[in-house]
Chain A
Amino acid sequence: MSVSALNKLNMDDTIVGVSTPTGGSISIIRMSGKGSLHILKKVFEWKDAGKPKSHRVYYGWICGGMSEKVDEVLVSVMLAPRTFTREDVVEINCHGGAMATQKVLMLLVEHGARLAEAGEFTKRAFLNGRIDLSQAEATMDIINAKSELSHKSAVNQLQGRLAHLLSEACEGLVSLLARIEMAIDYPEHEEADIVAEEIKTKIIPIAGELNKLLDVARAGKIIRDGIKTAIIGEPNVGKSSLLNALAREDRAIVTHIPGTTRDVLRETIKIGDIFLELADTAGIRDTDDLVESEGVARSLKESVRADLVLLVFDGSKPFEHNKIASIVNEDWENVIVIINKSDLPQGIDKDYLTDKFGESSIIEISAKNHIGIDELGDKIKDMFLQGQMEYGDDLVTNARHISLINSSRNSLVHAIETIDTGLHVDFVAIDIQAAYAALGEILGIAVDEELIEKIFSEFCLGK
């Protein structure tokens, strides 16, 4: 059993899981363990943030990086020992549907919680003396039934491409480990010389593969959740007509969400298979009613959190070059430059934009005449669906798989750092072992015997 598995048996960590059946409109995420409150505080923004009282319900938002609001929730805080598990328990009532629930779950994992094993809350409840004897047998049945079930579904999910990709990564890692361990245990063998650089060149492509899987997972999430999109541009370049062109009746879903300080209008626009989520569209639609500069400033602020920025120019007019510099933000992940009003005589310095953003990021449209809108949709798809086309968007969807792949990738990154600080190969081996163990947990394989088998099948050793 791996070192990480020991921790699970010891109940020292904080576990998290969705405790309502899937499909409901409200789901409850339960978190139990010493770190519950600490982790909650990292992701929960609520009015009287501070020391929450036990057995109280709090209203607020679960927020991700850059204070991105993930879901509006009610949180019950229950401090040990008067809880189901006799540990500190936090229950989060999510309202935002299955995707938001998954997002909240992953956020908690990112901040140190571990996804609970089958029957683990009940197990803790029992081992901490919370539930009585008659329930103990039932607990064990749950552990069995659930582990059987989760095993089955894990195997189902693993069939095909992902299992193959992960096995390949494992194979690469165990080969590398065999190579390192051989060098350590048989230092006089003629193939024993292994230099850190060689290890690095072998780790990088594997870490790259895992990154690709995580990208796919992320892209899959983006597709299901929608692409957070910001429309940026000077006044009168045609932002609102672009919005209107995109939001033709057949593909626009407009939702009003009451905010804390003012009403934020959020629109979801479907282009082909993907959704664009446009936040604060009121700011764009109602520019006339607002002080122009305030509207621009606000949308600029929003744009930093966006997955996609649509930067709009009026093609019929020249613009001041230095003004662009004040708008463009380095934190933008993806930018498409839209030259609007292509139906009018062009006066824009297109070469400058090509120079700055690259030919492929630029598209010319006429929002008013619906020219180039479909092409814009294709461009967005290309930008976000590249990985998907290769692997299919359901390749990695299981939250547990994603978190294990992520932890494996992080171990490999640490291995590279270890090499770069000049530490010896036996230290690097620790990171590679951890990377293997994480993937092995998905595939249900352990490193110990396989490694020794590998060492002796690949190298001719012995006196």
Chain B
Amino acid sequence: MDMRTTKEILYTAEPVDVIVIGGGHAGCEAALAAARMGCTTTLFAMNMDSIAMMPCNPNIGGTSKGHLVREIDALGGEMGKNIDKTYIQSRMLNTGKGPAVHSLRAQADKQRYSQEMRRMLDATPNLQLVQSEVADIVVEGGIVTGAISVAGALYPCKAIVLATGTYLNGRCVWGEVSVNSGPNGLAPSLPLRDSLERLGITLYRFKTGTPARIDASTVDFSKMVEQNGDEEITPFSFENNRADIARSQISCYLTHTNERTHEIIRASLHRSPMYSGDIEGTATRYCPSIEDKVVRFAEKASHQVFVEPEGENTNELYVSGMSTSLPEDVQMAMYRSVVGLENSRIVRFGYAIEYDCIDATQLLPTLEFKAIRGLFSAGQFNGTSGYEEAAAQGLVAGINAAAGVLGKEPLTIDRSEGYVGVLIDDLVTKGSNEPYRMMTSRAEYRLLLRQDNADLRLTPKGYGYLIDENRYQKVLEKQRLINEEIRRLSKATIAPSDEINTLLKQHNSSEMTSGMKLIELVKRPELTYAVLADVDANRPALPEDVAEQVNIAIKYEGYIQKQMQQVEQFKKLEGRKLPQDLDYSTIDNLRLEARQKLNAIKPLNVGQASRITGVNPADVSNLLVYMERRKHMEKRADE
């Protein structure tokens, strides 16, 4: 028995199946997933008023992150539905580029986002909320058995999801000020760190930051460029219809920093904690502070600043592009140097925050710790940045925590199936030495992982976890309609006629002189499935989303086929399993670096092994030979 606690246990609470530590975006998804799968679940939050809080930018989605939200929805998660309820502006980005990189982003009403998520948690059977701080994880014989709160209560459980975000050992810094604090002035979580270290978990220290919030009544919007939402919005959730969630939207505004702004910053750099050495956490390249931008891109005379409302019931505006940890007086001068913000007043000052997080290579692709059964980890605590990245991991960790309790197969998503898979594989295979941000360029099968087909890709995978029979059948039916329509178009021929040639001329497409397959017309770059409706007499009435898939599948067939062949190769190596008890140091033919890396990561299959930094193709070849040899030996031993 290796039960370790920091405190005396004063009482034992009712046992539950799953405990989720943290009520942020990862924690909410994890708790909802576990409870919805039928596990009794307790969600611990340091403060019940900070459930699903958005302590930084007031939006959900964006490039690649929008894909994640669609995938979360396709797997039965909540983020997409919650932003559909609470968005105040919605835009599809990248519509001038290929369908694979179209990305949905919505501005959220932060308070309402938080409230609606809380409402959903409250309404979910099996789910209990507790405002308390967990101080210790109880592990017996390598298996999680409970959590102990700072108040000395033992909460017995079968699985725990750690989702501490930026709270663990949090410290906020701006100018000469440094306070032990979680985000947004909330209390940090301190004792849990020691407990994790005692369990042998390797911790890192990362840093991130946020800009100031300014009072809208002190801003001159007339001097800035107004940015509107889409007239026809696209819902995040596959279960919502455009018409049902349409509402009036509010605007964001674009302005710029200038030379004076940069002078103010440069003159005060010595007072910045980032440059005075007061911050030691590793910052992310993906969210540089304005002082970083001014130093690193000294030649740029101006940087874009997006001024975004934080909600309909608040005056606060988020100043995107000007994240900072400069002293308060410098912040005031700096923001006021920007056109439109000359008389602005700061409501909340910008700050940098340092926090403890883990080396995610300690995790399996299920997000369970390799060394501790029943202990899962998700979100910013795994070294990522962003609400969407957090929620995606929370969902997977929650599903798998519940699957473990219920004795179900775990759910893992690979790199060819979704951005969720790319994200988790990158984390657990390569680890991260800075907060990790999702990007579309990280997805090698980007053409296949579109936001428009997340349901077709993932809803069948989610069946039996959070996807019920009804939703599963609906997706199968959608796929069937798509296939059938493509088949019809590939068979149906169309004869040249005045009608068709007039249409072709209208779209600058060459006229027909002899009969053609309809599918060939859809393939022409200047035409689409939709514009051919009038000349396609036998076309069945199809839902808009089915028509969209038909169009994409036909137009980009060549490219899609090529990536599908690559996926086939990828899947073969993913299918070659590696035993978890394999001691790579005994395989003489591997290079020393490869042996060390393989032992540290313990990849599940040859595919994962091939992606480990420091493992080269010759090592993988030798690994294949070694595994085959081992199989022969085992066979021989059996005979």
Interface size range of chain B in the complex: 35 or more
Contacts of A8 in B (CB 8 A): 617
Classify the interface of chain A: helix, strand, loop or mixed: helix
Contacts of A12 in B (CB 8 A): 569, 572
Please, could you name 26 A-B residue pairs with CB atoms under 8 Å apart, sorted by A?
A1-B611, A1-B617, A7-B569, A9-B620, A9-B624, A12-B572, A126-B628, A143-B618, A143-B622, A181-B440, A184-B63, A185-B64, A187-B63, A187-B93, A188-B304, A190-B304, A424-B97, A424-B98, A430-B447, A451-B441, A455-B441, A456-B285, A460-B297, A460-B303, A462-B287, A463-B323
Contacts of B293 in A (CB 8 A): 460, 462
Selecting from A83-91, A132-140, A373-381, A390-398, the interface stretch reads A132-140
Encoded as 1 (CB less than 8 Å from any A CB) or 0, chain B from 595 to 617 comes to 00000000000110011000001
Contacts of B525 in A (CB 8 A): 421-423
Q: List A residues at the B interface (Cβ < 8 Å).
A: 1, 3, 5-10, 12, 117-120, 123, 126-127, 133, 136-137, 139-141, 143-144, 147, 181, 183-190, 421-427, 430, 448, 451-452, 455-456, 460-463
B633 contacts A by Cβ under 8 Å:
yes
In the complex, what distance in Å separates the CA atom of A133 from the CA atom of B631?
10
Asked whether A140 and B626 contact (CB < 8 A) given A430-B447, A462-B286, the answer is: yes
The answer to whether A10 and B97 touch across the interface, beta carbons within 8 angstroms, is: no
Partner of A463, one of B321, B442, B610: B321
In the complex, what distance in Å separates the CA atom of A119 from the CA atom of B620?
13
Contacts beyond the supplied A3-B569, A426-B447: 12 A-B pairs with Cβ under 8 Å? A5-B610, A6-B569, A9-B621, A10-B572, A117-B617, A136-B628, A187-B63, A426-B98, A427-B447, A452-B439, A460-B296, A462-B287
In the complex, what distance in Å separates the CA atom of A423 from the CA atom of B552?
13
Contacts of A188 in B (CB 8 A): 93, 304, 306
B66 to chain A minimum Cβ distance, whole angstroms, is: 11
Asked whether A185 and B626 contact (CB < 8 A) given A1-B617, A117-B617, the answer is: no
Partner of B446, one of A123, A137, A421, A426: A426
B266 to chain A minimum Cβ distance, whole angstroms, is: 15
B629 contacts A by Cβ under 8 Å:
yes
In the complex, what distance in Å separates the CA atom of A455 from the CA atom of B293?
14
The answer to whether A189 and B304 touch across the interface, beta carbons within 8 angstroms, is: yes
Encoded as 1 (CB less than 8 Å from any A CB) or 0, chain B from 541 to 570 comes to 000000000000000100100000010011
B51 contacts A by Cβ under 8 Å:
no
CB-based nearest B residue for A150: B618
In the complex, what distance in Å separates the CA atom of A448 from the CA atom of B589?
27
B198 contacts A by Cβ under 8 Å:
no
The answer to whether B622 and A426 touch across the interface, beta carbons within 8 angstroms, is: no
Asked whether A10 and B573 contact (CB < 8 A) given A127-B625, A189-B304, A423-B525, the answer is: yes
In the complex, what distance in Å separates the CA atom of A140 from the CA atom of B594?
14
Contacts of A9 in B (CB 8 A): 573, 606, 610, 617, 620-621, 624
CB-based nearest B residue for A447: B441
Cβ-closest 7 pairs across A and B: A140-B589, A424-B98, A147-B618, A426-B98, A181-B441, A456-B285, A460-B297
Q: List B residues at the A interface (Cβ < 8 Å).
A: 56-57, 63-64, 93-94, 96-98, 100-101, 103, 285-288, 293, 296-297, 300, 303-304, 306, 320-321, 323, 439-442, 444, 446-447, 525-526, 556, 559, 566, 569-570, 572-573, 589, 606-607, 610-611, 617-618, 620-622, 624-626, 628-629, 632-633, 636
Contacts of A422 in B (CB 8 A): 525-526
The answer to whether B625 and A144 touch across the interface, beta carbons within 8 angstroms, is: no
Contacts of A140 in B (CB 8 A): 589, 622, 625-626
Contacts of A3 in B (CB 8 A): 444, 566, 569-570
The answer to whether B632 and A133 touch across the interface, beta carbons within 8 angstroms, is: yes
Asked whether A426 and B100 contact (CB < 8 A) given A136-B629, A143-B621, A460-B296, the answer is: yes
Contacts of A430 in B (CB 8 A): 447, 559
In the complex, what distance in Å separates the CA atom of A460 from the CA atom of B322?
12
The answer to whether B101 and A6 touch across the interface, beta carbons within 8 angstroms, is: no
In the complex, what distance in Å separates the CA atom of A7 from the CA atom of B96?
33
In the complex, what distance in Å separates the CA atom of A181 from the CA atom of B622?
35
CB-based nearest A residue for B624: A127
In the complex, what distance in Å separates the CA atom of A185 from the CA atom of B62?
8
Contacts of A452 in B (CB 8 A): 439, 441-442
